[in-house]
Amino acid sequence: MSIKLFVFLILLNLISACSTAIAKPDFQKSDFEIDAVPISVCCKDDLHGKRGPYLPADGISKALITIKLKNNNGIHLAKNKDLKIQITTSAGKISKTQFDDKEGVFIAYLTSSDKQENAIVKYTVNDKDSTQKLEIPFLKNIVLNGDFERNGVRHDRPNAVYWGAINSSSNNIDYKDSFAGKRAICLKRTGKEKAKKSGISQTLKFTNRGRFYQGSLWLKGTPGLKSRVYLQQVNPYYSYVGIKSYQLTDKWTKVTFTAATHIPDSYSLRIEYETKPGQAGVMCIDDVRLQSSGHVDFVFKKKSIDKRFFNYNSASLPASVWPEKKGFPVDSIRIYSGWNAVEKKPGQYIWTNTVPRGGMAGDKLINFLNSKGAEPMMVIGTPPKWTWEKNWQKTNRWLTINNFNNWENWIKTIGNHYKGRVRYYQLWNEIDMPFRVKKNGKIRFGPGYKDYQNGEKVVALTKSAHKILKSIDPNITIVAPSATMLHAAKFYDSFFYHGGGKYIDVIAFHCYPGNEQAQGIAVDTDGCSAVAAQLRSLRDAYNLQHLPIWNTESGVSEANDENGNRIFRHLVSTWISGVERIFYYNLDNNPTPFELYDWKYGKLTNNGKGFRMAANLLNGAKVVRAETKQDGTATVELLLSSGRKVYILWNLEQKVSMSIPPQWRVKTIKTIDSQRDFQATIPNQVEIGREVKLLFAE
């Protein structure tokens, strides 16, 4: 072969290769993907949370829409001149559609509308509808005058319209160095104030139960001072439904927070900061936003539910009262060892009686549980009277024990006594509940109302217990002090703020179902899912996602017209709210409105029947889906260990008739009945109300 021919062939191959490289790609509509990022949300703000991108419903905020190839393989969209992409939206306005030469993608801008609505963004590629669409909610700011641009005068002092003062901190002034706009609000303290906190508040009326709220604000002030923003129910117990603490800096910083409401009511949004006696300080606030983003969401685990989900409380257990005898699965029993019962006098320990009520207690109960393969969880924190500070009645406190060494000695003693027999220790029971002195002069043991707010002290005691117990047995699990649903958010915000998350293995709260209301948390029946959502948000905000959440005390008051349905709904709702264990109250031979078994007459209560039905169904199953439809129908889809599907339905708002989707392939419908357990029917339509309906697929 001649050299000329050889060179010619090489050039021909190169030309062919180049021609192939620049050939027009054969795009398919499934090759593309769409995304959105908010770029101008109310004055430089930027919102993009777990629920995806969303925009304030203000008519000016924008999101950048991007369309790109899933796998671009070096293909530059802007260089494909024959490619035609169009974007449309059901709400708001699309503008500046163009190819981005630098990034090689297609972009557009979506401007929000001034209405609270969802925008459905769609696109076409070469006039072919895409397989993807994007939903972006436009959310109204519930806070009035959140940018403080409307100022007025109150008591001869400048004051922002719609905002009130906390602890008479009415010296609000215009602040020229606002984050955005012309004004911000500053609160100045001289150090001579009697109250240690100052702040502003606004009362908001919420008409729906079980809503999730996302908020943000911008703060700056005297570096190092502690501030906090919180949403508090006005009546009747000042329950905290969302809270976030923050340490001020001298630069404008965005602080985000979340809240989940229990019931329709008036709520107070409060922003405050505190100084020490004699300390001056300032806090400036701007652009406060609070937006409802729908029902409280669910974060149920993809793993199967097992018997570890089902646990119980007991102070003293009769030998005949064992859950598995009655068909209830059991993993752990929560018991009250009580420092006040074991060490009534310094150095004298009575291990046979731990808050006795008749039946087994103390060592005997621990040994019995060990023999059954059940894990005891001991609540150990209630101190005996001899450890209290003087004048405790006036201070209403007991965590400030008169001698810290007494606490450490008690933890060492109980840890060594039960070494190898007890792996779960809970440090306090309902730490937010105050003392009560009964008419007969007897004291109802409980923590001091003020002390649970003393996060530094609680964390110091927790840290000490953690160090001692883990040195005795590294496998011991430290369960955090439990707080009731009223103050759980407030307690844990303070606890986490002071570093308490490093010294616990489990977050714990207590929630007893209240009155069920129609409007509410998707699928939830009692507000407990709202508490779980609050704790999840706080946990995530403090980067403690590894900590599981347990409800260590919960019971359902029996209602004759419910026939076990209410407790069934409660157990299902608990799991799909991300709570990994529930401890039912209680197993004692002690009649309560919550009991599962009537020990006197030897029969299951209605609660017991509902509990057993739920336990038998849930144990080993996976939750596939959970949602609430427009008409209020709650739907939970279960995949049983056998591979069979079950659809759980109820409706607290109204009775509705529902056509069963043919793809469900329902073979049997069952209900919980107090007399005959399950009843089976096979209609084409199903009536749904407060009674739980179980639809079993083939």
Select from 597, 620, 643 the last residue of a domain.
620
Q: What is the pLDDT, as a whole number, of residue 690? A: 86
DSSP one-letter code for 92? S
Instruction: Write the CATH number for 131.
Output: 2.60.40.10
Same domain, 128 and 149: no
Q: Is residue 598 scored above 70 in pLDDT?
A: yes
- pLDDT score of 581: 95
**Do residues 602 and 326 make contact, with C-beta atoms less than 8 angstroms apart?**
no
Instruction: Name which of 489, 579, 568 is nearest 535 in CA terms.
Output: 489
Average pLDDT over residues 321-342: 82
Q: What is the pLDDT of residue 25?
A: 53
Q: Is residue 581 part of a domain?
A: yes
Total count of domains within the chain: 4
Residue 22 included in any domain: no
Structure tokens at 676: 């005959």
Closest CA to 525 of 572, 559, 560: 572
Residues 6+ apart with CB under 8 A from 325: none
Helix 606-618 vs helix 565-576: crossing angle, to nearest 10: 40
Is 50 exceeded by the pLDDT of residue 356?
no
Q: In what order do the strands lie in the sheet with 253-260?
A: 173-174, 185-189, 281-295, 211-221, 253-260
Q: CATH number of the domain that 154 lies in?
A: 2.60.120.260
More reliable by pLDDT, 135 or 409: 409
In this structure, the strands spanning 549-554 and 507-510 are parallel
Query: H-helix or E-strand containing 604?
Result: strand 603-604
pLDDT value of residue 299:
66
Query: What's the average model confidence in pLDDT over 523-537?
Result: 74
Are 483 and 431 in contact by the 8 Å Cβ rule? The answer is yes
25 assigned to some structural domain: no
More confident residue, 405 or 26: 405
Structure tokens at 491: 């307690």
Q: Look up residue 54 and give its amino acid.
A: Y
Residue 75 has pLDDT above 70, yes or no: no
The SS3 assignment for 67 reads: strand
Lowest mean pLDDT across 253-262, 317-326, 480-489, 527-536: 317-326
Query: Quick check: 2 pLDDT over 90?
Result: no
CA angle (425, 430, 431) in 5-degree steps: 90
SS3 30: helix
- Note whether residue 407 is domain-resident: yes
Domain hosting residue 433, numbered range:
307-620
Nearest to 691 by CA among 676, 673, 666: 673
Phi and psi of 463, rounded to 5°?
-60, -45
CB atoms within 10 A of CB 319: 10
Q: Which two tokens stand for residue 605?
A: 């209560």
The phi, psi pair for 465, rounded to 5°, reads -65, -40
Transcribe 342-383 into DSSP letters: H-SBTTB---S-SS-SSSB-HHHHHHHHHHHTPEEEEE----
Task: Give the C-alpha separation, 25 to 512, whole Å.
Answer: 61
Say whether both 472 and 589 belong to one domain. yes
User: What average pLDDT does range 73-82 have in this prediction?
Assistant: 63
Given pLDDT bands bounded at 50, 70 and 90, which one contains residue 253? very high
Domain harbouring 677, CATH code: 2.60.40.1180
Domain co-membership, 389 together with 474: yes
* 21 within some domain: no
Look up tokens 């906090």; give the residue: 228
Residue 176 predicted with pLDDT over 80: no
pLDDT at 626 over 70: yes
372 and 439, same domain (yes or no): yes
15-36 pLDDT per residue, tens = 555 544 444 455 555 677 787 7
Give the pTM: 0.78
Q: For 490, what's the count of Cα atoms within 13 Å in the CB-facing half-sphere?
A: 23
Please check whether residue 629 is in contact with residue 635, taking contact to mean a CB–CB distance below 8 angstroms.
yes
**436: confidence class by pLDDT, cuts 50, 70, 90:** very low
CA 398 to chain centre: 29
Is cis: bond before 236, omega within 30 of 0?
A: yes
- Residue where a domain stops, chosen among 599, 620, 641: 620
Q: Two tokens at 160?
A: 């922002």
Q: What pLDDT shows up at residue 656? A: 92
C-alpha 132/C-alpha 123 separation (Å) is 8
- For residues 371-410, one letter each, b for 16 or more C-beta atoms within 10 angstroms of the residue's C-beta and e for the rest, the string is eeebbbbbbbbbbbeebbeeebeeeebbbbbeeeebbeeb
Contact 548, 506 (CB under 8 A): yes
Q: Do 134 and 199 fall into the same domain?
A: no
Question: Is residue 13 included in any domain, yes or no?
Answer: no
Judge whether 483 and 494 are in contact, CB under 8 Å.
no
CATH number, domain of 409, equals 3.20.20.80
Whether residues 392 and 484 share a domain: the answer is yes
Distance CA 83, CA 338 (A): 74
Is residue 139 a contact partner of residue 55, using CB atoms and an 8 Å limit? yes
Q: Which two tokens stand for residue 293?
A: 């983003």
Last residue of a domain, one of 294, 325, 348: 294
Strand 253-260, strand 211-221: pairing: antiparallel
Residues 6+ apart with CB under 8 A from 114: 57, 58, 59
